[in-house]
């Protein structure tokens, strides 16, 4: 007895939906299944076989072999297959007569009188039971294992056929749907196109072909933009660019196309972007545009309240006039009602023949337009333009005449002035064009014809920009100029154009609109000049400027390299001098060491000034004001120059005003260079004479003081005509000076520029053969008590650990000798890789990092450290040690993550300041 659980109603509905999706209950698939059923009978040596599909209320024998009964549809609930299809295995009954499950089965009740029954369920790939493959016989028997396996294989084949049928049905349905869509598109009066990303047409319906006047094969594959009206392409392109940048996928626009006959048509167009396709549809709105234009014109006319409107009957007698007519002529409706208009506005100089011709045209039922000299009510002259329209009755007779009357007095006056202008323009060598209100040429002078090679009739009615433009022309400039014209604005532009013979030409175009009394543009006047030569000069200047910039960069690079080469040994000299002074020298050595220290620092200052001359020229040099003792500075300068003065047998003296405060805020390096330049020159150009440096206090208040400096000698002096000349770079007062005295002529130029940074002007007073005096005044701020204490504050850095990264052993030695005196714990690394190794193994409070090292540079090393994960690596203070003066390294310090830099050679004061900033 068969015992199988029935599925839920929900599952049954899903099973039936799956069965119906194969569409096998009707016609179709018989031949394929008949062969498989026959094969099932042959394999199992059975006399009969069939395929049953279980519907909602019926069982359908879709294919059968050997059955006597011709009936193929049976009641579901009398069938065993409705249960066996859920067994998931081959179900075999050797004798159905002894099995109560078959009591009502048509297998017993029908004329076939079957005895043996075997079935295998038909289960699709989604797991739904659709029916069974069955074999029956008229005697008791069983199946072998191979026969059972064969039946199962055949059931799989049946399901495969079903899947193929469903797939084919879907393909047929999709094909039909596609054809229906295509038919819809083809039958649609609207235009439908499919484009690729480049705008090439992949599909176009019949409406598109009809609109453009081309066969379909002439349209497909072409760019949609090839059919666009030329002047609309840029507008469309800008519209798309702006929309795509904002992320738009759908675009609405109206634009013009040109059909096969050259006729321009308007399209209202919608384009939608999906994947790599543009789906486009639109309609022909040419007629709508025409109607809109006419309505616009009618609205324009109706809004012109300043124009007179007069209505007359068939006998030319006025019946109505608006207020604008009264404003124009002075005649009221009462003045003219019932009278012919022409009789009222005529005067001594009116051309009566014009009025008679107008009345003749009305009698012939024709409309007309005339310009006539008329008279106002107060007898003043006025020019009128009269537009007359005749309205006919149903029987074709004149019923009404409507006249629109415009005051054109100003226009006539402008025309007269234009005649004078044309006479003048025809004689000038500057090109002149006169254009109508739409910008189209009405007149050009002979000078323009000769300039561009076109005759007047070739340009008449055209826009000059359209004729002379080339692919190299900046169309945006022209479009912006035209936009200005629409707003009644004058403009001046410069554009690259092309003569008729193809020769390029640069033109300067100045456009002026002529506006009438109503505020409307009547015409435009353009003055056109050939500026080709000027443009060439500008290009030459730009090229020269670029070359000068390249030379300046090369100079800066050279100076930077020289700076690095000079500063490296100078760092050892100054560093060792500092160490010797701090190492308790003998009293007899102290003065010598101080002079050596001062001279070394001064040499460094001179090198800095020479290398920074580019900064002075470009305005990038900044003064650094710190508290200094002016008297000590001046004494040091005098002491360092005594040797040179003695060689020239000169007396070098200092006169210092005791009223000057002990400390002022000044840039010691720059002030030193100014005084050294002036004193050095004075000594050099004086023999057996006297050189005096005078420093005196002038104006003084609580916060600042003006100090007067003068360098005076009794040497060779300066010729009166050379006093200003000496401040120019690389120049000297006489050609023999360089040979006799040496020097480059750069010192005074630098001195003057440095004093300008101090807001001071240098003055020179000299007599040739008598001597020279240079003087200047600088305003100094006084140093406060806090600033004074800050400069002398002694800081100790006990317990702090720092890392010195430098590949130069002398630099390491100097740094070690200086830093260890301040209680610092110091480690050293000779390369970037070793520095990274030290930093990852130890914790440091500060790192001094050399820039140029073998392997990786200081910049690269710092970048690697900053890229490590821990906060320690990101916050560790790293200060660069550099001998380079390249300006772009300032930005590299920040980009790599460095906290600052010290320029070699460095002094203990500078190093102490850095340590104080980061460790205290």
Instruction: Please state the rounded mean pLDDT for residues 314-335.
Output: 85
Same domain, 144 and 26: yes
The CB density around residue 398, as the number of other CB atoms within 10 Å, is 19
Same domain, 131 and 26: yes
Instruction: Please state the rounded mean pLDDT for residues 446-451.
Output: 85
Nearest to residue 256, comparing CAs of 280, 286, 282? 286
Q: Which CATH number is 87's domain given?
A: 3.30.450.40
Same domain, 52 and 111: yes
Q: For residues 206 and 193, what is the distance between their CA atoms, to the nearest angstrom?
A: 10
pLDDT of residue 400: 79
Instruction: Please state the rounded mean pLDDT for residues 319-328.
Output: 85
Q: For residues 159 and 170, what is the distance between their CA atoms, to the nearest angstrom?
A: 17
Q: What percent of the chain has pLDDT over 90?
A: 21
Q: Is there a domain that residue 155 lies in? A: yes
Among 140-154, 266-280, 343-357, 593-607, the range with the most confident prediction by mean pLDDT is 140-154
Predicted confidence (pLDDT) at residue 118 exceeds the cutoff of 90: yes
Per DSSP bridges, beta strands 48-54 and 201-204 are unpaired
| Domain boundaries, position 110 | 9-171
Instruction: Please state the rounded mean pLDDT for residues 228-252.
Output: 84
Same domain, 640 and 724: yes
Tens digit of each residue's pLDDT (9 = 90 or more) over 78-101? 888 888 888 888 999 999 888 888
Nearest to residue 37, comparing CAs of 157, 149, 201? 157
Enter the pTM of the model.
0.35
- For residue 883, say if its preceding peptide bond is cis, omega within 30 degrees of 0: no
Q: Is there a domain that residue 551 lies in? A: no
Predicted confidence (pLDDT) at residue 730 exceeds the cutoff of 50: no
What is the average pLDDT score of the chain? 82
Per DSSP bridges, beta strands 690-700 and 651-656 are parallel
Same domain, 782 and 758: yes
Structure tokens at 658: 């005791």
For residue 707, the number of C-alpha atoms closer than 13 Å in the C-beta half-sphere is 25
Tens digit of each residue's pLDDT (9 = 90 or more) over 663-694? 999 988 889 889 988 998 899 889 999 999 99
List the single range of 60-64, 232-236, 374-378, 594-598 with lowest mean pLDDT: 594-598
- Where residue 862 falls among pLDDT bands split at 50, 70, 90? very high
Predicted confidence (pLDDT) at residue 847 exceeds the cutoff of 90: yes
Task: Compare 394 and 50 and report the one with higher pLDDT.
Answer: 50
Among 734, 763, 788, the domain-final residue is 788
Q: Is there a domain that residue 536 lies in? A: no
Predicted confidence (pLDDT) at residue 302 exceeds the cutoff of 50: no
pLDDT of residue 655: 94
Instruction: Please state the rounded mean pLDDT for residues 228-257.
Output: 85
pLDDT of residue 101: 82
Nearest to residue 560, comparing CAs of 548, 571, 552? 552
Instruction: Please state the rounded mean pLDDT for residues 812-839.
Output: 86
- Where residue 739 falls among pLDDT bands split at 50, 70, 90? very low
Q: Is there a domain that residue 241 lies in? A: yes
CA 769 vs CA 648, 681, 715: distances in Å: 17, 15, 7
Tens digit of each residue's pLDDT (9 = 90 or more) over 640-654? 888 889 988 999 999
Predicted confidence (pLDDT) at residue 5 exceeds the cutoff of 80: no
Among 290-294, 537-541, 650-654, 721-725, the range with the most confident prediction by mean pLDDT is 650-654
Residues 69 and 110: beta-carbon distance below 8 Å: yes
Q: Which CATH number is 783's domain given?
A: 3.30.565.10
Q: Is there a domain that residue 401 lies in? A: yes
Among 507, 530, 553, the domain-final residue is 530
| Chain centre distance of CA 718 | 59
Number of domains, the chain: 6
Q: For residues 400-411, b (16+ Cβ closer than 10 Å) or e, as one string?
A: ebebbbbbbbeb
CA 709 vs CA 99, 663, 691, 725: distances in Å: 135, 16, 13, 22
Q: Is there a domain that residue 694 lies in? A: yes
Q: Three-state SS for 346?
A: coil
Structure tokens at 300: 């324009």
pLDDT of residue 738: 46
- Where residue 706 falls among pLDDT bands split at 50, 70, 90? very high
Among 788, 812, 845, the domain-final residue is 788
Predicted confidence (pLDDT) at residue 304 exceeds the cutoff of 60: no
Same domain, 723 and 635: yes
Same domain, 283 and 369: no
Same domain, 773 and 628: yes
Q: Is there a domain that residue 299 lies in? A: no
Same domain, 429 and 490: yes
pLDDT of residue 466: 85
Predicted confidence (pLDDT) at residue 567 exceeds the cutoff of 80: no
pLDDT of residue 591: 64
Q: For residues 148 and 142, what is the distance between their CA atoms, to the nearest angstrom?
A: 10
Predicted confidence (pLDDT) at residue 737 exceeds the cutoff of 70: no
- Where residue 622 falls among pLDDT bands split at 50, 70, 90? confident
Same domain, 151 and 231: no
Predicted confidence (pLDDT) at residue 254 exceeds the cutoff of 70: yes
Task: Compare 559 and 758 and report the one with higher pLDDT.
Answer: 758
Same domain, 741 and 646: yes
Predicted confidence (pLDDT) at residue 298 exceeds the cutoff of 50: no
Instruction: Please state the rounded mean pLDDT for residues 202-225.
Output: 84
Predicted confidence (pLDDT) at residue 582 exceeds the cutoff of 60: yes
Tens digit of each residue's pLDDT (9 = 90 or more) over 519-558? 888 888 888 888 888 888 888 888 877 776 776 666 655 6
Which residues are CB-contacts of 746 (< 8 A; sequence separation ≥ 6)?
610, 613, 729, 730
Q: Which CATH number is 247's domain given?
A: 3.30.450.20
CA dihedral 487, 492, 495, 500 (to 10 degrees): 90
Same domain, 263 and 310: no
Structure tokens at 4: 């199988």
Could you tell me the strand order of the sheet in which 878-882 lies?
Answer: 825-829, 801-805, 846-850, 878-882, 900-903
Q: Is there a domain that residue 584 lies in? A: no
pLDDT of residue 615: 59
Predicted confidence (pLDDT) at residue 704 exceeds the cutoff of 90: yes
pLDDT of residue 744: 46
């Amino acid at each position: 007895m068969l015992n199988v659980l029935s599925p839920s109603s929900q599952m049954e509905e899903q099973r039936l939906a799956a069965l119906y999706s194969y569409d096998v209950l009707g016609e179709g698939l018989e031949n394929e299944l008949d062969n498989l059923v026959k094969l099932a009978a042959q394999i199992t040596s059975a006399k009969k076989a069939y395929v049953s599909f279980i519907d909602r209320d019926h069982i359908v024998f879709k294919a059968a072999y050997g059955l006597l009964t011709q009936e193929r549809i049976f009641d579901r609930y009398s069938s065993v297959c409705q249960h066996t299809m859920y067994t998931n295995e081959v179900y075999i009954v050797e004798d159905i007569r002894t099995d109560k499950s078959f009591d009502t089965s048509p297998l017993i009740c029908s004329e076939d009188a079957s005895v043996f029954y075997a079935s295998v369920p038909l289960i699709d790939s989604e797991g739904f039971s659709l029916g069974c493959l069955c074999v029956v016989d008229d005697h008791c028997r069983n199946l072998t294992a191979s026969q059972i396996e064969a039946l199962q294989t055949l059931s799989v084949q049946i399901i495969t056929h079903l899947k193929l049928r469903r797939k084919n049905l879907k393909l047929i349905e999709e094909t039909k749907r596609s054809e229906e869509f295509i038919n819809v598109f083809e039958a649609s009066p609207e235009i439908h196109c499919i484009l690729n990303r480049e705008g090439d047409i992949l599909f176009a319906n019949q409406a598109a072909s009809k609109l453009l006047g081309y066969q379909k094969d002439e349209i497909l594959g072409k760019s949609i933009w090839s059919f666009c009206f030329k002047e609309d392409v840029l507008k469309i392109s800008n519209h798309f660019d702006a929309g795509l940048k904002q992320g738009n996928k759908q675009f609405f626009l109206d634009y013009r196309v040109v059909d096969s006959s050259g006729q321009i048509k308007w399209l209202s167009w919608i384009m939608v972007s999906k994947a790599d396709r543009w789906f486009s549809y639109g309609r022909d709105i040419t007629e709508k545009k025409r109607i809109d234009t006419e309505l616009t014109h009618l609205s324009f006319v109706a809004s012109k309240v300043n124009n007179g409107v007069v209505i007359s009957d068939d006998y030319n007698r006025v019946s109505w006039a608006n207020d604008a007519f009264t404003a124009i002529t002075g005649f009221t409706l009462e003045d003219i009602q019932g009278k012919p208009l022409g009789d009222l506005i005529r005067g001594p100089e009116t051309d009566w023949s014009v009025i008679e011709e107008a009345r003749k045209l009305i009698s012939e039922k024709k409309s007309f337009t005339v310009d006539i000299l008329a008279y106002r009510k107060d007898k003043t002259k006025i020019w009128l333009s009269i537009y007359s329209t005749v309205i006919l009755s149903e029987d074709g007779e004149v019923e009404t005449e409507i006249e629109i009357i415009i005051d054109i007095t100003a226009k006539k006056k402008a025309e007269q002035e234009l005649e004078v202008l044309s006479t003048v323009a025809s004689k000038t060598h500057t090109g002149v064009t006169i254009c109508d209100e739409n910008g189209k040429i009405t007149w050009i002078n002979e000078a323009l014809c000769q300039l561009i090679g076109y005759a007047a009739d070739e340009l008449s009615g055209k826009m000059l920009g359209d004729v002379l433009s080339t692919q190299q022309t900046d169309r945006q400039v022209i479009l912006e100029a035209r936009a200005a014209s629409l707003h009644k604005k004058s403009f001046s532009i410069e554009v690259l154009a092309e003569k008729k013979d193809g020769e390029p030409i640069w033109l300067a175009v100045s456009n002026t609109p002529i506006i009438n009394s109503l505020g409307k543009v009547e015409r435009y006047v353009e003055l056109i000049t050939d500026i080709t030569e000027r443009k060439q000069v500008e290009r030459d200047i730009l090229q020269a400027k670029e070359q000068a910039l390249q030379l300046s960069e090369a100079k800066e690079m050279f100076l930077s390299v020289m700076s690095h080469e000079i500063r490296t040994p100078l760092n050892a000299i100054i560093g060792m001098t500092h160490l010797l002074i701090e190492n308790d020298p003998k009293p007899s050595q102290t003065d010598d060491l101080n002079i050596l220290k001062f001279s070394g620092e001064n040499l460094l200052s001179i090198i800095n000034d020479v290398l920074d001359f580019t900064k002075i020229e470009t305005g990038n040099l900044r003064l650094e004001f710190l508290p200094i003792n002016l008297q000590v500075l001046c004494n040091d300068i005098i002491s360092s120059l005594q040797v040179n003065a003695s060689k020239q047998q000169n007396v070098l003296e200092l006169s210092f005003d005791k009223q000057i405060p002990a400390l002022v805020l000044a840039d010691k390096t720059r002030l030193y260079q100014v005084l050294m330049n002036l004193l050095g020159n004075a000594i050099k150009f004086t023999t057996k004479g006297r050189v005096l440096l005078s420093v005196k206090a002038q104006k003084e208040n609580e916060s600042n003081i003006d100090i007067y400096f003068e360098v005076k000698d009794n040497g060779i002096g300066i010729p009166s005509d050379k006093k200003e000349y000496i401040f120019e770079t690389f120049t000297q007062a006489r050609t023999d000076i360089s040979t006799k005295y040496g020097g480059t002529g750069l010192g005074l130029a630098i001195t003057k520029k440095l004093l300008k940074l101090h807001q001071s002007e240098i003055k020179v007073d000299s007599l040739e053969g008598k001597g020279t005096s240079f003087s200047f005044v600088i305003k100094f701020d006084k140093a406060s008590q806090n600033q004074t204490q800050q400069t002398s504050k002694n800081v100790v850095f006990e317990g702090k650990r720092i890392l010195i990264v430098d590949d130069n052993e002398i630099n390491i030695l100097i740094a070690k000798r200086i830093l260890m005196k301040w209680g610092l714990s110091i480690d050293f690394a000779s390369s970037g890789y070793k520095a990274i190794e030290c930093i990852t193994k130890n914790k440091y409070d500060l790192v001094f990092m050399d820039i140029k090292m073998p392997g990786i540079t200081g910049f690269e090393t710092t970048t690697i450290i900053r890229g490590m994960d821990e906060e320690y690596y990101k916050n560790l203070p790293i200060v660069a040690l550099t001998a380079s003066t390249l300006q772009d390294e300032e930005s590299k310090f920040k980009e790599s993550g460095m906290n600052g830099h010290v320029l070699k050679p460095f002094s203990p004061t500078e190093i102490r300041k850095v340590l104080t900033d980061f460790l205290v």
